[in-house]
Amino acid sequence: MSIVDKLENLECLKNGLHKKWIWNDADSFSLSCDYLQKINYCIQDLNSEIGSLSNPSMKEVIFVIVLVDWICEAVDCLPKLLIPDLRDGFSCEYESELEKAKKYFKAIRSFVVAHPLTTNRHYDYGFDGDLICVDIGKISILVSTFTNDSDWYHIDFSGLRANAKNENHDFILHVYSQKKNGMKFENYIGANFSDLFEVARTYMKKIYALDRYLSKQRKKGR
């Protein structure tokens, strides 16, 4: 199993996000607190799952993906609640990391959870509509023993690599390809939980960057 470190929670925020005047209105402030609570709960749930990831079932894989997705959505929604001047003035220094993490996560989330039979918009990750995902789980002895290197792929931030049987895989996606063999023979895409956790970790960097930015802002007239 890949090394999965616990995610940092929101305890170290510097009170930038907790200011009331930075939000569009009172409802936006309340909603921002709800978003932060959602993020914190997801972090707690992800960290509590780490002990179960060495022997994952489909449930663990989907649960982790959903939790990371909720974190991404909440983090992206937070700045939209700020007053316009503050929202427009924020620039995240981790934008390139975020973009890379976002592309990877959208691809694997679509293929595994949202559209396993019809994912066709993530060309950089090999998901152009040819592959379909029919199952998710751990690597069985049967699959490990009676498959060839050419049956295997691996997906990470860099894209989809072929001939990847000997790479480290925390879980596998059972897939079929029309182009490769007319949907007749099963192939396998390996993936790692460490990459999914890294997506969440990168989005948490954005939260802390936003908090630092807001902690330095002063209300006009003061």
> 138-171: per-residue pLDDT in tens?
888 889 899 999 999 999 999 999 999 999 999 9
Q: Give 86-109 pLDDT, tens digit per residue.
A: 999 999 999 999 999 999 999 999
DSSP string, 75-134: HHHGGGGB-HHHHHH---TTHHHHHHHHHHHHHHHIIIII-TTT--SBGGGTBSSSEEEE
- Structural domain count of the chain: 1
User: How crowded is the C-beta side of 192, counted as CA atoms within 13 Å?
Assistant: 19
Q: Measuring CA to CA, how many Å separate 36 from each of 9, 18, 120?
A: 10, 10, 33
Let me know if residue 15 belongs to a domain.
Answer: no
Percentage of the chain exceeding pLDDT 70: 99
Q: Give 167-215 pLDDT, tens digit per residue.
A: 999 999 999 999 999 999 999 999 999 999 999 999 999 999 999 999 9
User: Helices H, strands E: what count in the chain?
Assistant: 7, 5
Let me know if residue 7 belongs to a domain.
Answer: no
84, 43, 64, 69: which is closest to 1 by C-alpha? 64
Let me know if residue 144 belongs to a domain.
Answer: yes
Let me know if residue 12 belongs to a domain.
Answer: no
Token duo for residue 129: 């509509």
Let me know if residue 58 belongs to a domain.
Answer: yes
Terminal C-alpha separation, the chain: 54
Which residues span the domain enclosing 95?
26-215
Let me know if residue 221 belongs to a domain.
Answer: no
Predicted TM-score (pTM) of the model is: 0.95
Let me know if residue 14 belongs to a domain.
Answer: no
